[in-house]
Structure 1
Amino acid sequence: MADSPAAERTLAEDEVRELVRTVSPRLASLPLTRVAEGWDNVTWRLGTDLAVRVPRRELAATLIRHEHRALPQLAMRLAAAGVRAPLPVVAGAPTSTFPWSWSIVPWLPGEHVLGLPRHRNTAWAGQLASVLSALHQPAPDDAPHNPVRGVPLRSRDDSIRSRLAELPPRVATPLAALWEAGLDAAPAADSVWIHGDLHPGNILADGDRLVALVDFGDVTAGDPAYDLAAGWLVFDAEGRHVFRRATADRYDEATWLRARAWAAAVSAILCHASDDRDDLRAVGFDTAAELISAAGSPAP
């Protein structure tokens, strides 16, 4: 990853409050605190139960619209499986002073898994498997399209090989072998709803319970193997065993080979995370170690 892209639009607190006022004077009177800034959005906590997600660049406004489109269909499905998603309370439209889509969403309780020891995640590995089984259902023809998430591996071959080439050979060589095994596996038979960005920073847990999946900007119709790469991004060997065993009747061996290949690809990408994202770079190298140590086993 390159350095975080510069913001194309930055809103001060009073400007965000005015944006909220266009949809609800009552909500605009609540306390407003800036809590996070990512590549795509700035998040402001609104009162105790809500958050405002404001794009910081035009590309992110498209991702916000994807959430507006998909989450009304998916949030109830995920809730039935026991987890929450940031279903917009307000699907904010462009205004006379702000040109992009934006959202007011629930403030979801829980602890980000990013940075937690992997062994703690085993407790909810089976729950995540159930949630993904509920999510991975056929998507309609007009579902959001993401050109790089959940696509056939072959279409990303040149890009991923260039990432691998930038890693030390002791890491690049075994990851390349896993990527090639995924290329050789049978392609996905169906296109289903996928989260599209299922790494530890987008998973919330509360002790031994999975409580929420967040940041659905990359939601798309595609290969479920892309989400199943979480088996290596999130879990240790025991957790992966639980995760796969819980989906034994849902995904075939070819799907898991593609999932492992996607995990190798995401690992290579995260290993090059920018200097301001040491946490993601750590996930990249830790995932590479998990993949390499498990390479001799047929199960994830």
Structure 2
Amino acid sequence: MTYLGEGWDSTAVLVDGRWVQRRPRRPEIGPQLLRETAVMPWLAPRLPLPVPVPEVVSLDPVVVRHELVPGQEIENLTAAQGRQLGEFLRALHAAPVAEAAARGVGPLTLPVDRFRAEVRVPGAEELLARLDDLPADTLVHGDLGPEHVLGRDGVLTGVIDFGDLHVGDAAIDLAWALHSTPPAFAAAVADTYGVTPELRERALTWHRLGPWHEVLYGNDIGDHEMAEVGLAGVVQRLGTRVSHR
């Protein structure tokens, strides 16, 4: 058994060199892991890249496992990989929302009150106000970033970590890909997916909002350094001075 590390929600170990075994870090994450065992077997065959397909190992305590998805975080993103990701997102976002909902996938609830209370950003009300008008009509990964897109030998080999899968705005899955990657990769994603100017603008809203979650999580676990890193991200993406609780 090899310890793989821990994320915000779960810890993971590699068993027999094949199985990634996950346990919730907090009691409320148990139902989230079990939901993945219901939705991912249905979703995986619809997608052009490998994804985790977990199964239940234990209910008390909650333990799930899935076969190891090949690859590692990519250092140099290319246009070819951008086209792969664009195709992946088109397939994911075409998945029937009603069928996902029947398997327990619901909408995203943003902690807007906590954003206002714990990250006080002059002039940021405009950003938070935009959240009220964003659509919620698409099945989305919800946390798509460089640590969750795997590759090997110049091609993408999988997408992992579907704990934030929800019915929401398609633009959330394009935030990192369009606004925090090399130009050739971003352009290939946009061309393959069919990004419109309005969708690109919504993706920028989600991109700017990303670091706020890091501040809240740092506050929750008492990690001052994490909260400060989140604040630095807020400063960089919003270009304003900030303070927090």
**TM-score under structure 1 normalisation?**
0.64
CA RMSD of aligned residues (A): 3.3
Does the 8 Å contact 2:3/2:14 carry over to 1?
yes
Return the structure number with greater strand share.
2
1:42 counterpart SS class = strand
- Give the distance between the partners of 2:26 and 2:111, measured in 1 at CA: 25
1:55 equivalent to 2:18? Answer no
Q: Report the alpha carbon displacement of residue 77 of structure 1 after superposing the two structures with TM.
A: 1.4
Change over 3 Å in CA distance of 1:160–1:121 after alignment to 2? farther
Q: Work out whether 1:109 is the aligned partner of 2:70.
A: yes
Distance 1:76 1:60 in 2: 25
Pair 252,233 (structure 1): closer, same or farther in 2 beyond 3 Å? closer
**How much identity, in percent, do the aligned residues show?**
26
Residues 206-217 of structure 1 mapped to structure 2, 5 A cutoff:
206-217=152-163
CA distance in 2, matches of 1:262, 1:228: 9
The aligned counterpart of 1:125 is 82
CA distance in structure 2 between the aligned counterparts of 1:125 and 1:178, rounded to whole angstroms: 31
TM-score (norm 2): 0.77
The higher radius of gyration belongs to 1
Contact residue 199 and residue 230 of structure 1 kept, 8 A: yes
- Which blocks of at least 5 consecutive residues in structure 2 are unaligned? 240-245
C-alpha change, 1:183 and 1:67, in structure 2 (3 Å) is closer
User: Relative to structure 1, is the Cα distance of residues 108 and 290 closer, same or farther in structure 2, using a 3 angstrom cutoff?
Assistant: same
Q: Aligned runs of 1:197-276 on 2, under 5 Å?
A: 197-232=143-178, 234-248=180-194, 251-270=195-214, 274=218, 275=223
Partners in 1 of 2:236 and 2:152 — Cα distance? 26
| CA shift for structure 1 position 197 | 1.5
Shift of 1:67: 0.8
SS in 1 for 2:193: coil
The answer to whether 1:69 aligns with 2:17 is no
5 Å matches for 1:147-166? Answer: 148=108, 157-162=112-117, 164-165=119-120
- Cα deviations across residues 252-287 of structure 1 (Å, max 9, x unaligned)? 433332221111111333367645986x948x73x9
The answer to whether structure 1 residue 36 and structure 2 residue 5 are counterparts is yes
Question: Is 2:52 the partner of 1:86?
Answer: yes
Give 1:85's aligned amino acid: V
Question: What is the Cα deviation at residue 223 of structure 1?
Answer: 1.7
Deviation, 1:239, is 2.7
Supply the distance in 1 between the matched residues of 2:199 and 2:87 (Cα, whole angstroms).
16
The range that moved more, 157-166 or 129-138, is 157-166
Amino acid at match of 2:203: A
CA distance in 2, matches of 1:160, 1:66: 27
